[in-house]
Every structure is written in C-alpha cells, then in structure tokens.
C-alpha cells in the first residue's frame, strides 16, 4: 500500500478498508508515512468523516501500535476520567485525589494543551520539581501508595496516537470527531482502567460547539469503551463560559488547591463532585461520599502525597507572570456572557498555550477573571487580569477580547446553563 492511495480514498469520501487503516497507522508510527501525508489524511477525515466500523478499526490499530497496561495487581478498583478539553478546565487536579480518597485507584494519563484549551500536564509542570514522565513501574508504585497518579502516557502506550495528537494541534484537525474519539479511547483502553467517565465539553470554548456534536462524540466513545469491556459513561458539560476564575497553568493549579482546601469557585466544585460520583459508581463504590472527603481534608492529603511522589513540592510557591494588564468593564449592569473561546485564545496568546507542537509554555501566563455571568458590574471595574512574562503579547491577546463579553442593563434577569447538561451511558 501507499499513503497517497489511502489519502485519495478518504478525500473522495470513500470508506477506508481495515487493511488500509492497519497499514497507515503502522506505517505512520514507524515513520514510513510522513507528517505532511498524515496531515492530509487527517484533514480528509475532518471534512468527510468516518463510519462506526472505520472508527472502531482506527482505534484498534492505535491500541495495537503499542503495549497494554494491567492493574490487576492493585487492591483497589480502577476508574479514570477524560475531558475533551476546555478553558479553565482544571477539574482533573482536584478530582483524581478526591476519588482516590474515597477508595478507588485513579490512573490518570493526561495530555498537553491543544490550541486554545489547556493541558493538564502543562499545568502540573508549573509545580517546582514535578515530573510528568514516569515509568510504568513508577506509575504502579504511585498508584499503590497514594491511590492516584497523573502522568504522561509512556512511549509504549498507543505511540501512534502520541504522534497524531501533536500533529492535529498544528494542522487545524483537532475538531475531527473520529480522531478525537479514537485518540481518547485508544489510550484509555490500552491504559487498562476498569471504568471510565468522559467529560465531553460543549459550547464556544469546546471543540464540540453544539449539543448534537457533543452527543455524537460521547455516544461514539461510550460505544468504543463498552465494546472493549470498559464500563463507560459520559457527561455533557457546559463550556460556553470558562470554568472557575482562571485560565492558565500555575493560575489553575492555585485554584485547584483552593478547591481541595474547601474553597474555590462553585462551578469547579459542582463539576468535580458530579464526576467523582460517576467515577465511584462505575467503580462499584456507590456508598463513598466525595463531598465528605473534600470537606475533611482527606482529598488534600492525597494531593500532597501524589505531587510529592512525582518529585513535586506541594508547598512550593507557584510561578507568577512578571507583567499584568487589567481589562475593565465598558459599562455598568449585569454580565450576561463571558465567552470561553475568546478567553482561551487570549490565554493562549499570552503564552499559556502553544502555536506549534515544539513550543514551550509560560507557567505564569493566562487570564484571571474577576466576574462571571450573572454578576453585577460597574463601569471601569476590573473584569479580568491578563498575565504574561512578555508584555509585547498583550496587544495580540487583547484583540481576542473586544466581543468576549456582554453587559445588560441593571436588573436584567439571568439564568445560567447547568454545569452538567446531559448524561449518556
């Protein structure tokens, strides 16, 4: 076979055969298919889609490109969560130790930022000394001793996805539902967790802008997981507004620690608890009380042990950006809209995200919010503070924000969307 014939098949809206899929994934992993050729195929998939048979085979080929993990030796049931990505989505950070504090083992393999969405590993790497890359043996040891681990997938786990994941970020193909579904599920199935809860974001700041697309993605992934013997459920959650009050790496770590300490924004708390309940139920721990574990400090204790186990200092001062710029309200009234996508783009441009897969990120960069939809604001009041080490980025970031919010006259009623919009199982 050759890459050009595979590209042409999908370009011309044809169905890829199992043999074509197996060959192209294997050849790309080995370097026989070049990045530019896989970019063309990814774009063809974005534009023309894949049917269920193709997606299942593509996922299986991704899994077959590497090893599969086994947590059978652990004394706890395993359960994991995956988010499709959003703005201010720091939920993994308080969630993993919280679920571990309730008796489950949480093997959380996470990724880096894609486009305007933040990456869990980028956030945690703002903690001095913390290491994302650990061996499988270290991962099992951290799980055994703390109950939770957040780390990068090893080179042996779905290596085809590792290459394609980075490529999608810089080729405008992140939003392709077949590629999102296969990317997520190949890693999660190969990871070997017994149960999986999917947080499928929907709204302006998500890759799925409509509830219909979010349902399609969630249903596809739930089917892939269930067919592979993994108890899988999905929550469709709102991403029209940023989660919490921060978007950026160290900024989000700081907010996550506030949640573990018993504070933090209510939307972050609500979603953390909703996902924790689903994860514990899927793991067979229906009587566990995550709200109690959050309140009594046991989740914070697991967080501290988890961070320390990977070389991080949970007491270290987190990095802060050298420069700040305050954006103020242009009128008085009720803030009725704060667009997640625009805020995410601003944070990305400030240095919290990357434009190319090789780019570094700034630990302290991002956007800090001072008001959320439903709040009353006055003209000239700070709405958000932009953070960066490179002040020349302010102008570019500000260009994303003129239409990022709406302020209605005082007294206007406002009904926010629920954090959890639907459940698919």
Strands (E), 12-165: 80-83, 106-110, 148-152
Is residue 375 among the annotated active site residues? no
Sequence length of the chain is 425
Helix (H, G, I), strand (E, B), or coil: what is residue 66? coil
Those residues whose C-beta lies under 8 Å from the C-beta of residue 334, and which sit 6 or more positions away, are: 374, 375, 376, 377, 407, 408, 409, 410, 411, 412, 414
387 included as an active-site residue? no
In the residue annotation, 75 being an active-site residue is answered as: no
- The bridge status of strand 80-83 relative to strand 195-202 is parallel
What residues contact residue 191 under an 8 Å CB cut-off, 6+ apart?
69, 80, 107, 109, 153, 157
What is the Cα Rg of the chain in Å? 21
Counting Cβ atoms within 10 Å, is residue 137 exposed (0-12), middle (13-18) or buried (19+)? exposed
**The one catalytic residue among 110, 126, 183, 228:** 183
Marked catalytic residue, from 10, 123, 168, 354: 168
Active site residue 161: yes
Among residues 10, 57, 81, 82, which one is catalytic?
82
Terminal-residue alpha carbon distance, the chain: 38
Inter-residue contact 149 to 143 (CB < 8 Å): yes
Contact status, residue 312 vs residue 367, Cβ threshold 8 Å = no
- Out of 22, 80, 161, 199, the active site residue is 161
Distances from the Cα of 144 to the Cα of 93, 105, 106, 135, 140, angstroms: 18, 8, 10, 14, 6
Q: What angle do CA 308, 313, 319 make, to 5 degrees?
A: 140
The 3-class secondary structure across 266-286, one letter per residue, is HHHHHHHHHHHHHHHHHCCCC
**Pairwise CA distance, residues 394 & 348, whole Å:** 11
Of 57, 116, 187, 393, catalytic: 187
Alpha carbon distance 181, 59 (integer Å) = 8
Task: Establish whether 331 is a catalytic residue.
Answer: no
- Separation between Cα atoms, residue 361 and residue 388, nearest integer Å: 11
Residues involved in catalysis:
82, 161, 168, 183, 187
């Amino acid at each position: 076979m050759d890459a050009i014939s595979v590209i042409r098949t999908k370009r011309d809206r044809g169905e890829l055969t199992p043999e074509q899929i197996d060959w192209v994934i294997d050849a790309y992993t080995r370097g026989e298919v070049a990045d530019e050729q896989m970019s063309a195929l990814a774009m063809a998939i974005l534009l023309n889609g894949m049917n269920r048979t193709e997606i299942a085979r593509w996922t299986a080929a991704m899994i077959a490109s590497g090893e599969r993990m086994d947590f059978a030796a652990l004394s706890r049931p395993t359960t994991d969560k995956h988010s499709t990505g959003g703005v201010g989505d720091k939920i993994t950070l308080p969630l993993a130790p919280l679920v571990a504090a309730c008796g489950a083992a949480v093997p959380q393999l996470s990724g880096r930022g894609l486009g305007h969405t933040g990456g869990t590993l980028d956030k945690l790497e703002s903690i001095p000394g913390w290491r994302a890359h650990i061996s499988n043996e270290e991962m099992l040891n951290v799980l055994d001793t703390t109950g939770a681990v957040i780390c990068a997938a090893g080179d042996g786990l779905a290596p085809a996805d590792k290459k394609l994941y980075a490529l999608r970020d810089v080729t405008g193909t992140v939003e392709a539902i077949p590629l999102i579904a296969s990317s997520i599920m190949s890693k999660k199935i190969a990871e070997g967790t017994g149960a999986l809860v999917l947080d499928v974001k929907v709204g302006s700041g998500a890759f799925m802008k409509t509830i219909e697309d979010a349902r399609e993605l969630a249903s596809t992934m739930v089917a892939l997981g269930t067919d592979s013997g993994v108890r899988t459920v999905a929550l469709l959650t709102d991403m029209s507004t940023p989660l919490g009050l921060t978007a950026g790496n160290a900024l989000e770590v700081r907010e996550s620690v506030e949640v573990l300490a018993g504070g933090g924004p209510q939307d972050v708390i609500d979603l953390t608890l909703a996902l924790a309940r689903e994860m514990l139920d899927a793991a067979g721990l229906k009587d566990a009380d995550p709200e109690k574990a959050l309140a009594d400090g046991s989740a914070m204790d697991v967080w501290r042990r988890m961070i320390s186990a990977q070389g991080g200092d949970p007491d270290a001062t987190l990095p802060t950006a050298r420069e700040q710029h305050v954006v103020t309200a242009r009128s008085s009234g009720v803030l009725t809209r704060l667009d997640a996508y625009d805020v995410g783009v601003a944070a990305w441009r400030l240095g919290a995200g990357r434009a190319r897969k090789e780019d570094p990120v700034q630990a302290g960069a991002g956007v800090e919010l001072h008001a959320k939809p439903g709040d009353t604001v006055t003209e000239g009041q700070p709405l958000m503070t932009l953070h960066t080490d490179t002040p020349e980025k302010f102008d570019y970031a500000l260009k994303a924000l003129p239409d990022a919010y709406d302020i209605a006259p005082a007294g206007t009623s406002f009904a926010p969307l629920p954090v959890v919009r639907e459940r698919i199982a």
